[in-house]
Amino acid sequence: MSDKLYEATSKEVMNEHEEYLNADVPKQVWVDRNKYLHEHVNKLTDEIIELRRDNKKLAKQCEDLLNEFINEFRNTGEV
């Protein structure tokens, strides 16, 4: 009188390596997916680095323009 569901859940859970070995998907598919994901992550990382550089440049330009405007305003004495 054993319950099949209980037996299935009481078995030891497979670790990641065992799941990889017993997967229905062939190993080459996993290798290809892994390669694609690594390339995609590298591409996104490069884009983020480029965006950060651009943001720093824009922040510097804005700061320079603001300082220039403040200096002109102070020099005119319109306060």
Tens of pLDDT, residue by residue over 26-56, are 777 778 889 999 999 999 999 999 999 999 9
> Whole-prediction pTM value?
0.55
Query: Is residue 41 a part of any domain in this protein?
Result: yes
The tally of CA atoms less than 13 A away on the side-chain side of residue 54 is 6
Split into its structural domains, the chain has a count of: 1
Q: How far is CA 64 from CA 16, 26, 45, 50, 58, in A?
A: 54, 58, 29, 21, 10
Query: Is residue 17 a part of any domain in this protein?
Result: no
Q: Average pLDDT, whole number, for the chain? A: 83
Q: Which domain holds residue 44?
A: 25-79
Query: Is residue 7 a part of any domain in this protein?
Result: no
Query: Is residue 18 a part of any domain in this protein?
Result: no
